[in-house]
Amino acid sequence: MLLIWLLGTVVTVGFVSGLVGMTNSRDRVLPAIPSTTGTTAPREPDQMSAVEVQPSPTSFIALVRTPTARRTPPAVQQPDQGVPHEPVVQAHVSVPKPAIVSRASWGAVDPMADLTSHQPQQITLHHEGVLFDGSVPAPEYLRRVQRWSLDNRGWPDIPYHFIIDLEGTIYEGRMLAAQGSSNTDYDLRGHIHIALLGKYDAGEQEPNSAQITAIIELMAWIAATYHLAPDTIHGHRDFIPLNARGEHIDPRTGSLITCPGDNLYRYLEDGTLQRGVAARLTQAYLLSASRHTAEQPVRQQGDGHLRGLTQPAKAGFVRESRGVDANGMGGWG
C-alpha cells in the first residue's frame, strides 16, 4: 500500500504502484522556422517569454499537496530544476484541456530565430504590464505584441506560452517545448509562462472571475500533462531578489519588478489558484481511482482463487480526512 498525500489528506491506494521522479533533459536548440507575414505595432509586454511541447500522455503525479498561503513572497530561491519535490506516485489521470485559440487563429507569424528546448517543470504567472481595455481585439493586440517582441526586443517569438484576455479566452503563445524570454535576469529553464493581458498593479485593473477560472483550468491541465504539483505555481516576482525594503529588484537593470501585479498576485499569495488546481487534480485522480478499483477482482479470504466479483468503487482506497477546512472541503482542497 502506498500513502499519497492529496490536499493534506492521506489516501491509501492498493492498486497504484511505482514511484517516479522528474528528470532534467539537456537543453538543445530547436531549428528556426522562416517567418512569413506579420502585423506591426509597438507595445511593451511584461517580462517573459515562453516555449512549447506537445502535451504528453495523460499520466499524472498523484502527489498533490495543498499549498499554504504565502503572506510574504518567498526568498529568491530558484525552484529546484529537475529534482522531485517529494516521492510521487504515477497514476493515469485525465484533466480536460480548456479551449485554446491556436496561433494560426490569432494570426501569429512563425518564430524568427532558433528556440532553446527545455523540460517544463513549473508554472509562472505574469501580467502583460500595459493597461488593456479590450478596445483593440485580442488577436490583433497579440499580433502587435509578437511584432514588438521580434522587432524591438530581438526575441524569436512572443514571450509567453499562453495569454488570457479580459473574457478569459486562452490563446496559444510560444511552443511549450521551447524556453521563454524575459526582460528580467533569472533562469528561465523549465518555466511555463502564462500572462494576462492588462496591468494588475495596485490601483490598476482587477482580474475578473472569468480570468481566474481560465487560469485555474489552464494550470490544472498543464500540471496533469507535465506531472507538476500545485506548489510549482509561482508569480514572476518570486524569482527576483528582494532588497532590504522587501522590494523585488532586477539585479541586471535595477528595476522594480511587480509582475504579475498586486491585484493578481494576491490570488497566488492566499493560495486561491493553487487550491483550485489541486482540487481539479484531486477530482480527476479520485475519479480515475474509482473507475480502476471498480474493475478489480476481489480475492476472497481463505480462497486462493480470484472470484468474478468487483469491488465497490470506494473500497479501493481509504482516506483519512483532517476535518473540514476553512473552505468547507473536508480536507480535500
CB 102 within 8 A of CB 141: no
Contact 226, 219 (CB under 8 A): no
331 assigned to some structural domain: no
Rg of the chain on CA atoms, in Å: 21
d(CA 19, CA 285): 16
pLDDT for position 331: 30
Distance CA 139, CA 171 (A): 9
Residue bearing cell 511587480: 258
266 within domain boundaries: yes
The whole-angstrom separation of Cα 224 and Cα 222 is 6
pLDDT, position 51: 30
Instruction: Give the CA-trace dihedral at 271, 276, 278, 280, to 10 degrees.
Output: 180
In the block, residue with C-alpha cell 481463505:
302
Query: Cell for 256?
Result: 522594480
The grid cell for 100 is 485554446
CATH of residue 307's domain is 3.40.80.10
Predicted confidence (pLDDT) at residue 299 exceeds the cutoff of 60: no
Mean pLDDT, range 304-315, rounded to an integer: 38
- Between 307 and 160, residue with greater pLDDT: 160
- Domain-embedded: residue 219: yes
Strand partners, 29: 116
Which domain covers residue 8, as residue numbers?
Answer: 2-320
Residue 327 lies in a domain: no
Total domain count, the chain: 1
Higher pLDDT pick, 224 / 85: 224
- Tell me the per-residue pLDDT of 198-234, one tens digit each, with 9 for 90 and over: 999 999 999 999 999 999 999 999 999 999 999 999 9
Say whether pTM exceeds 0.85: no
